[in-house]
Amino acid sequence: MSEKDIATPKRTKAILEKYGFSFKKSLGQNFLIDTNILRRIVDAANVTETSGAVEIGPGIGALTEQLAKRTKKVVAYEIDQRLIPILEDTLSPYPHVKVIHGDVLKVDVKEMVNKEFENMEDVAVVANLPYYVTTPILMKLLEEKLPVRTIVVMIQKEVAERIAAGPNTKNYGSLSIAAQYYAHAETVFTVPKTVFVPQPNVDSAILRLTIREEPPVQVQDEKFFFEVVRASFAQRRKTILNNLSHHFPDLNKTEIEKVLQHSGIDPKRRGESLSMEEFAKLSNFLIQ
């Protein structure tokens, strides 16, 4: 491991001291100090020297550097103004890296990808996401239908397990269906909390989302489909009939029961036992 790598504990400490940088809890800042894990994250994205990479929250540039070594271009969004001069310094050996000061939740990422990676066939999102905004960022990236092949993110282990979960498991819920509607989801490996400064309270996991060209189910109205899914998980212990009756007070219970039976779904089942196909069928019947 060369001393040049940003992610060594020694070099990270030196950079933080040089700039007098203090961590902001409100921004969920935890920097990785293990180069091997960073390389494995880049491996999981299967990028090459012709790929482009979008990063969110580069911190002091530890992951950015590993991406820069293996891709043609990197564009990173950093919300913390204090890190911009640090990144200019640490990433100075990599002219093909562009850092944008901004909140990824408030910018048009799709427009940026089309502009910055115009003639590139292969673009990946690779990021170590702050825990407190993981879900909003992921859902924004998926819903904007970015022209990217994959999204590889380090997130809280528990959230990664929820996103990748299948029916009839305790982790399966509306988030699993929302993510898997847009992408194939898998947990690649887990990351212990000991390889961060400061150390978070929980372990992390690398989640890989391979973007689908078409959703796995046909729904008449996407927004309504997701509404039905969320309503079905509103109270996990309740049956699907009770959850839907509560959510759609305009429909009487008998009507909902009929729709469920028409969809081939036992009204006594719970939301977690339904597959995405069953939810699609149900929402298509309910909307009629």
* Angstrom distance (rounded) from CA 179 to CA 135: 10
Which tokens in the block code for residue 95? 């002219």
Cα 169 to the center of its chain, rounded Å: 20
Backbone angles phi, psi at 32, to 5 degrees: -80, 135
Is 80 marked as binding a ligand? Answer: no
- 243 known ligand binder: no
242 assigned binding-site residue:
no
Distance CA 116, CA 205 (A): 29
For 210, the token pair is: 């391979």
d(CA 160, CA 189): 10
Q: Which of 201, 125, 226, 207 minimizes the C-alpha distance to 161?
A: 207
128 annotated binding-site participant: yes
- Distance, in Å, from the CA atom of 219 to the CA atom of 280, rounded to the nearest integer, reads 6
Say whether the peptide bond before residue 95 is cis (omega within 30 degrees of 0).
no
Residue 133 CB contacts under 8 Å (≥ 6 apart), including other chains: 28, 105
Cβ atoms of 156 and 204 closer than 8 Å: yes
Binding residues: 30, 32, 57, 78, 103, 128
Binding residues for S-adenosyl-L-methionine: 30, 32, 57, 78, 103, 128
